[in-house]
Structures are given as structure tokens and as C-alpha cells.
Chains A and B, each alone.
Chain A
Amino acid sequence: MAPSEKSERFVSLLTEHQNRIYGYVYSLLGDHSRASDVVQEVNLTLWRKIDEFEDDRPFLPWAFGVARFQVLAHLRDRKRDRLLLDAELAESLSGQLEKSATQIDSVRVALRGCLQELSPSNRQLIEERYFKALPVEQVAQTSDRTVGAIKVALLRIRRQLAQCVQKRSAMEGLA
């Protein structure tokens, strides 16, 4: 491949798989801000290693490999910070995650349909907490309920959503 063709191909693959890489990294870190930082590092690392990139080799496993390494490095470097997983757990989850992170786009599609199935007030709770990222206290305040009650409600709606997403994305898989 000519260099420009190669970087064109590389960029289109990186773009195509960006959400999957994000899903992968986020799942191991459980924090949007950290995940964004690490995804950025992953992108730069991949870009620097463009020479290792071969068109006939599957892109995603290579990208996941780099992502896994960056996440582990992050977990090791930030030991003093509060992190949800340790390196050992992240390592053990990464195999399963490589499979599920490829599903993130169908999860997103399914999620949109599932949100429509919720009652307006439940949808509003989810939107406030997870899309607008409002603190639980604030969600509680605006809906005039206690923090405890909101937590119970959100856990219930989340479970409903998760089941719906699972069903819908499975349906999609069959289509």
C-alpha cells in the first residue's frame, strides 16, 4: 500500500472501531473521564505503531491488545487513586470483554428502542442520571423523592433496560 492509502485505511478502521475501543476501555475503568484519557492514549499509540498495521490482519484484536495494555498500565500507574478494578481482575475480564465490546453499537441501537418503551417519567430519570450525568441527589431533588428511593427506582429501571437491550440485540443478531 502507498503510505497515504495506508493511513487512509487505518483512519477509517480506527474511526469505525472507536466506539468499541471506548466500550472496552470504559468497562475496565468504570469512569468516563479516565476512559477518555486512556482511549486517547490508545489512539495515539496505534497511530505511532501504524507501521505494524497490516491491512490483511484484523484491526480490532490488534487495537484491543493495545487498549488492554494501556488500561493495565493505567491501573498500575494510578494505584493511589481509587479504582474499581485491580490489574488482575481487568486482565481476567479482558477476554470476555473483547467479545462483548464488539456489540456496543448494537447495544446502542437496542437501547434507543428500549428507552422508548419506558414510561416518560422513568425515561426522564434515566436521561437525567446517565445522559445528563446529574448527581443522584439532584435527580432526587427535581423529582421530589429521597436519594434512597431514586436509587431503588433507577436500579429497577436499569434492570428493565438491560433485559430489553439483551432481547433486542439478540433479535438483531438473528436478522
Chain B
Amino acid sequence: MNDSLRDELESLLFDWDAGTLGDAGIDRVREILRSDESARAAYLQHQLLNAAMGLDASSRLDADSGTISQVSEPELDLAKQNIPSALPSDHFFRVSLWAVAATTLLFCGLLGRLAYLEFSDSDTVAATEAIEEVTSSGVALVTQLVDVEFEPDQVSLDVGDALMPGPIAIKSGFAQIEFFCGATLIVEGPAEIDLKSSVLASVTSGKFRAQVPPAARGFSIEVDDMKVVDLGTEFGLAVTENGADIQVFDGEIEVHSPQSDKRLLTTGQAIVRNSVGEFSTGKITPDRFVDIASMESRADGQQTQRYEAWKTLSNRLSRDPRVVAYYSFDEQGAWDRKLHSSVRPDNDELDGAIVGAGKVNGRWPAKSGLEFKRPGDRVRVRIPGEFDSLTFACWVKIDSLDRWYNSLFLTDNYNEGEPHWQILDTGQLFFSVRHKPDDLNGQPIKGPTHQEVLSPPFWKPSMSGRWLHLATTYDADAGKTTHYLNGERIHEETIADQLVVRETRIGAASIGNWSIPTKPDAEFAVRNLNGSMDEFMILSDALSENEIREIYESGKP
């Protein structure tokens, strides 16, 4: 290959790596590779170097500092000593920490996931890590939301969300924000607030009530060039374009502004600052500012309302002729280790048998749920009949994804027509229906036996302990599987023609686990869910996106 051709190829590959190579460039790369053997060798060298750097990227990046760590792995220490020629390279890599760790992981039944986690695109890995880091290292938490409507350009928040520095805009309603320093701020919309750090926020409009326990002294709120520093107290702040109204209900605050000396305000004092920065004495009106106690009672009222809305929907669902199995986990009376079927008219045959799993609170204090914790925990059900399309939906609170497969609903075996619904440890929702007959007792079947439909990873550890609505529809006519999270479609896939199953059946099955009697020693037979569930349904139809969203909207906590 002559030098100019080599330069051209290297330049094109650089652009490809950068994501800027257009179609003409791609064609040119192919042309060069087709025409010149040494170009093909140069191509492979380029890609292998990229692969080597990509492989090292994930293991070498120090998550904390974002710099490349040189000391965490023995292999890197060796390399640093510049003696690669002395390394028995093959053996060397066989005993590398990574390989040892990987082997252990594989034996825990993580095969396959490994590659996903280990080799994820370094861009993605970096991005994901950044997000994880972000959510776990924010400056405040949302602890209560009552009737909140967010401004259209504001990403809506949920209770439990960690907040990063940045603006929040509320159109109406109340939000309770707890700063990591310990200060609690109740925000009444319409309001605009910009979180600066765990001890500082800047506000442009809205009504705020801050409660600052001694441990959080020093918590400050900025309004324009004025700064209100809390010295351990409870105070109210109302900000409009006409100025700011500051009232101390209890304790002491300092007000700093460039136009005047520092002011100290104590219990019962109030000042008003107009738009040009002049101060005057104000009136104390604590009733204008919602406090934490009334926030709680408003939240309770909202919970009761939500619970009632869900009950209305639940009643309707229990009479829906398409419902094959429905467990609302809300049947009155003692549970006697049975999970009563909610399908109306009553059918005892559909009652589930609770094994292990303990009763816990559901989405609302008035509602029950079941917690799946130990490897044996499950609910056994038997669901007769033959169907075509199916919908699975449940409300689940995932504590963590410990297993390679984390079961939502699995039929006992995996015979022709039987569905399996679970979550992979990568946080991907997984659904498949077995197409070919069971091969456990016969000859292994050549070729694929079913099409696994995997959503993109939806789970991140910051969702732990939060109620999520998961749904999957299987449309036997259209040959399509669709996954939903919290009423939103997250993945849709067409099943290959030869793998579409027209006739589905369930029979003996487990919620939250897998009972596979034929393979007691199978490595990945442990598939128990680590979390709680408080509603589960199967319908003999593929529900539409709107129907799934309605179930989510009427049931969200």
C-alpha cells in the first residue's frame, strides 16, 4: 500500500471512530479494502488496537477521579515496569484478576451477561456511570409531591428522586425537597428554584418554607443578589417579581444584601424587600406557608384518592372477560397462605398458593403486597385454558436484581406454547414463548426454539424500592412482543415468522420464581425475585398502549 492510500484509510477510520464518516466515506473504505491486501492488514491492525484500548478502558478507568488508574491491577504494575518481554503472556492473562473474577461470576450463572457488562461500549459505560454517580451523589431528595404539575420544559420528578444541581420549575402544587445537609424545603407552585448545592438554593419565584434543624445550620437561599442564611430555624419566603417577603417563624436568620448591612431576624420578625432592593418591615403570616405537617396530611389525602382510583379500576378489571388471571393482593380477610383470585365471578381454582413469601405493605398503607426474598419464595398458580395473544402486567418493587434471571412469572417447564416473563440482571425485561416441543426428554432440537424479546436495560439501582409498573404484550396475530415500563412502551419486536406461537397455554406456574422439577440441579434454576409485588394480571389479549397507560395512571402510587 502506498503512503497516500494508507493516510487516506487511517483518516477515514478515524472519522468512522468519531462517528463523522458519511456514506461516501464508508463506500471509500470498502473500496480501499477490496482493492488492496495490505490495506486489509492495516485495517485489522487499526481495529485490534481499538479493541485493545476498548477492553482496557472499562477496567482502567478510575470511577472516582475519571483518570486512568495504573495501580489497581497487578498486570498493570507489571506493564509499568516495562518488562513485557519477560511476561509469559498466555499464562499471565489466564490468571489476571479479571479472568478469575469472571470465572467466579460465570459459575454464579452469569454467563453471557458478562460480556454485556464487561464490554459495553465505553461511551455507554462512561455515560451510565456518570448517571449512576449523579443519582447517588445528588444534592437533595424529593420526599413528597402533592398535586404537582410541572412546567412543560421540566422533566417530571417522582418521590424518591435524587436531585442534581439545576433548576426545577413547578406550575402548581407542593413539593417537599430534603437537602442532603438536613434542611427541608417545601415549595409551593408556581415556583422556580435552582439547586446549587446541598446547602444552597437560588430562587426566582414561588413560596417556600424552610425547616432547618441544628445540624443543617448555614443552609442558604439566594434571591437575586440577596442571601438568606439560616441559623437553625423555620422561615418562610415568598418571591415575586415585585420583591421578596421573608418571615421567621422560629429561630434566627441572617439576610445579606449588597445595599445594606447584614440583618439579623429572629422569631416573629418579617421584612419585605422590593424590586429595587429597599427593605421595609413586614407582617408575620405563617398560615400562608404550608408546613410539613399539613404537607403530610395533604399527601395522605392524595394517597387515599389514588387508592380509591385504583380500586375503581381494579373492580373493572376483575370483571373484564379478557382477564385470565388477576391477583389484586387486596382481597379482604385472612390470607391463610392463599393468594385469592380477584377474577369475578369467583373461581377458587385460580387461587394461588403462597410459599414462603411474606405479607408486606403494598403501594398504599391500606393495601397489601407480598415480598419475595429467599430463594424458595413464590406463589404457585394453575391457570387452565388455551389462548392466542397474552398480556402480562404487574406492580413490582425491585430491591435488586441478584440473579441472572429474576422471575416475574414462569411456567413450571418450558413446553410448547408456554410463556416466560422475567428480568435479566442487566435490567432488561425478557419475554419469550416456547415454539418447539419440549426437548428435555428427547433429542436436542436443532435451531432456535423461541425468540427472546429483550427490552433495553430499564433498571438502575436508584430505582430500588420504588413501585414500578411492568407490562408485556404478546400479539399472536401480528407476531409482536411489546414491553412497557410505567405505561411507556420501551421496546417492540417482531417475532420471526417461524417462531411465532399461535396457541399459548400456561398451566402450572409460579409468580416470582421458577419451579423446574425436571432439572433440580440446573445452575440457573434459582430465579427468585428480590422485591415485592402487589398486583399481577394475565389477559388473553394484547392490550393497546393506551390501555396499559390507563392501568399505570390509575394505579400509580
Q: With A109-B79, A113-B82 in contact, is A89–B30 under 8 Å at CB?
A: yes
- Report whether A131 and B44 are in contact in the complex, using a CB–CB cutoff of 8 Å: no
- Report whether B82 and A33 are in contact in the complex, using a CB–CB cutoff of 8 Å: no
The 8 A CB mask of B49-61 against A (1 = contact, 0 = none) is 1111111110011
B26 within 8 A of A: yes
- Please, which residues of chain B bring their CB within 8 A of the CB of A83? 26
Give chain B nearest CB distance to A5 CB in angstroms: 13
The 8 A CB mask of A17-53 against B (1 = contact, 0 = none) is 0110011001110111101110110111001000100
Secondary structure of the B contact surface, majority rule: helix
B94 within 8 A of A: yes
Give chain A nearest CB distance to B75 CB in angstroms: 8
- Report whether A131 and B523 are in contact in the complex, using a CB–CB cutoff of 8 Å: no
Q: With A43-B115, A127-B68, A165-B49 in contact, is A15–B44 under 8 Å at CB?
A: no
A100 within 8 A of B: yes
Cα–Cα, bound, A68→B43 (Å): 17
- List residues 28-72 of chain B with CB under 8 A from any CB of chain A: 29-30, 33-34, 40-41, 43-57, 60-61, 66, 68
- Report whether B102 and A131 are in contact in the complex, using a CB–CB cutoff of 8 Å: no
Q: Interface range on chain B: under 10, 10 to 19, 20 to 34, or 35 or more?
A: 35 or more
Q: Interface range on chain A: under 10, 10 to 19, 20 to 34, or 35 or more?
A: 35 or more
- Report whether B47 and A22 are in contact in the complex, using a CB–CB cutoff of 8 Å: no
Q: With A14-B106, A113-B84 in contact, is A155–B14 under 8 Å at CB?
A: yes
- Report whether B93 and A36 are in contact in the complex, using a CB–CB cutoff of 8 Å: no
- Report whether B55 and A22 are in contact in the complex, using a CB–CB cutoff of 8 Å: yes
Cα–Cα, bound, A85→B68 (Å): 32
A7 within 8 A of B: yes
- Please, which residues of chain A bring their CB within 8 A of the CB of B76? 112
A55 within 8 A of B: no
Secondary structure of the A contact surface, majority rule: helix
- Report whether B51 and A26 are in contact in the complex, using a CB–CB cutoff of 8 Å: yes
Contact check: which of A23, A112, A132 meets B51 at CB < 8 Å? A23
Cα–Cα, bound, A22→B121 (Å): 12
- Report whether B84 and A112 are in contact in the complex, using a CB–CB cutoff of 8 Å: yes
A116 within 8 A of B: yes
A108 within 8 A of B: yes
Give chain B nearest CB distance to A144 CB in angstroms: 19
- Report whether B34 and A89 are in contact in the complex, using a CB–CB cutoff of 8 Å: yes
Cα–Cα, bound, A110→B46 (Å): 15
B444 within 8 A of A: yes
Residues of A within 8 A of B (CB): 7-8, 11-12, 14-16, 18-19, 22-23, 26-28, 30-33, 35-37, 39-40, 42-44, 47, 51, 82-86, 89, 92-93, 96-97, 100-101, 103-113, 116, 126-127, 130-133, 135-136, 151, 154-155, 158-159, 161-162, 165-166, 168, 171-172, 174-175
Given pairs A35-B51, A40-B113, A168-B84, 18 additional interface contacts (CB within 8 A): A14-B106, A14-B111, A15-B99, A16-B99, A22-B55, A28-B47, A30-B17, A30-B47, A32-B121, A32-B123, A33-B124, A40-B115, A89-B33, A105-B92, A105-B93, A116-B79, A155-B10, A168-B85
> Closest 6 A-B residue pairs measured CB to CB?
A33-B121, A112-B79, A27-B47, A32-B121, A26-B51, A133-B122
